[in-house]
Every structure is written in C-alpha cells, then in structure tokens.
Amino acid sequence: MASRADSRGRLLAELAGAPARKGYGIAYDLLGNRAEAEEAVQEALARACESIGDLRDPAAAPAWFLRIVTTMCLRTLRRRRLKKKLFGWWPSKDDETSVAHEGASAVADTGIDDIAQRMHATDTVAPREALVDHQELGAMLDKMDQLSAQQRTALVLRYGHDLPVGEVAALLGVELATAKTHLVRGLARLRDLMEEHR
C-alpha cells in the first residue's frame, strides 16, 4: 500500500514539473491572463491529485494532465463569453485602440496563415517588422475572442503550440473529425472577422 502511495506521489511530483510548465504555456496562450493561467494549472493539479488513482498507464500522465488543463481553460473561456452576453463587460469593437485597427487591416492584407508561419520562424526579424507582426498578432488574438471556446482552443493548440491535429483532438476530448471541424470553421470565422476591417 505504501509503495502505491509513493508511486502516486512521484507521479504527481513529475506532473508539477515539465507538464505543469507546458500546461501553463498553453493556458496563458488560451487565456491571455497570468492569474487565470496559474489558476487553471493549479486546479488541474488538484484534480489530478484527486483522480490519479484512476490512471491506468503512468506513461500517459502528462497527456492526461494537459487535457485537464485544457478543460479548465475551456471552462474559463465559456464563462467569459457568458459574462459578456449577460453583462456586456468584455471589450467591444468600439473599445479597440487605433493600433488594433491598424493591425487588423495589416492582418487582412497579410493573411492569417502567414502570421502563424512567422510566429514559428527562427530567422531574426528587424525591429519594425517585429512591431508590425506584434500588432498583427494582437489584432488577430483580439478577434479570436469572438470564436467559440473550442475553435479558439483548437487554433491556439494547432498553430500556437504546433501540435498535430490528433493531439489537439485528444486535448479537447473530441474525435479527430470534430477537431478538424473546429480548426476549419475557426479559421474561416477568423478570416471573415479580419476581412471586416479591411
């Protein structure tokens, strides 16, 4: 019995290392808020603690943990949307800065796929180009708030973290075809939103 408790303790300690750091990166990219990202990871660790006895394959623990983190983020994104609908407190289009408008126009001209590609580029970027990229990315992320929680999450996992579609599906807890649908519809909706600011 003691050895089982020890192995559970070791597994949880492992999750609190590299998987928790990766989970925080995903959570921060999804939520854009440090406190909410930290809360999502802490909540995921607490849930992992509660149900780690149900995990049959210890080797699957990191992926299982990241799925819990993703679920926590999806809940936060849904709550945000609900608050926006009920109370209208989330920033509207009229509240956007002129920099965001300029960035949105640049995104429409450049294309979302180009921005995603540049996010992962290893070449050194000139400061002016880096600023334009930052504005374009900021405008795009602003528009992503208008996507469904699943679409936003799928896009961030696929293009922001360069995960294969199969892994995106696993983290979302959906079939592969459903993940592909979220990606296709999310990109299409994002393109439409960016086109509005041409």
CB-based contact 48:68 (threshold 8 Å):
yes
Query: Is there a single domain that holds both residue 19 and residue 101?
Result: no
From 37, 66, 90, the end of a domain falls on 90
How far is it, in rounded angstroms, from Cα 54 to Cα 49?
10
How far is it, in rounded angstroms, from Cα 159 to Cα 152?
11
**How many separate domains does the chain show?**
2
pLDDT of residue 94: 39
The 10s digit of each residue's pLDDT in 138-183 is 566 678 888 899 999 999 999 889 999 999 999 999 999 999 999 9
Query: Is there a single domain that holds both residue 102 and residue 86?
Result: no
- Amino acid making up residue 82: L
Query: Is there a single domain that holds both residue 59 and residue 119?
Result: no
How far is it, in rounded angstroms, from Cα 79 to Cα 74?
9
- The pTM score is 0.68
Q: What is the mean pLDDT of residues 28-49?
A: 92
Query: Is there a single domain that holds both residue 80 and residue 101?
Result: no
Instruction: Report helix angle 98-110 to 112-119, nearest 10.
Output: 100
Query: Is there a single domain that holds both residue 188 and residue 98?
Result: yes
Domain range for residue 151? 92-198
pLDDT of residue 80: 84
Query: Is there a single domain that holds both residue 6 and residue 60?
Result: yes
Query: Is there a single domain that holds both residue 44 and residue 83?
Result: yes
Write a three-state SS string for 155-192: HHHHHHCCCCHHHHHHHHCCCHHHHHHHHHHHHHHHHH
Domain of residue 104, CATH code: 1.10.10.10
The 10s digit of each residue's pLDDT in 95-143 is 333 333 333 333 333 344 444 444 344 444 444 444 444 456 556 667 8
pLDDT greater than 80 at residue 28: yes
Domain of residue 85, CATH code: 1.10.1740.10
pLDDT greater than 70 at residue 57: yes
Query: Is there a single domain that holds both residue 141 and residue 107?
Result: yes
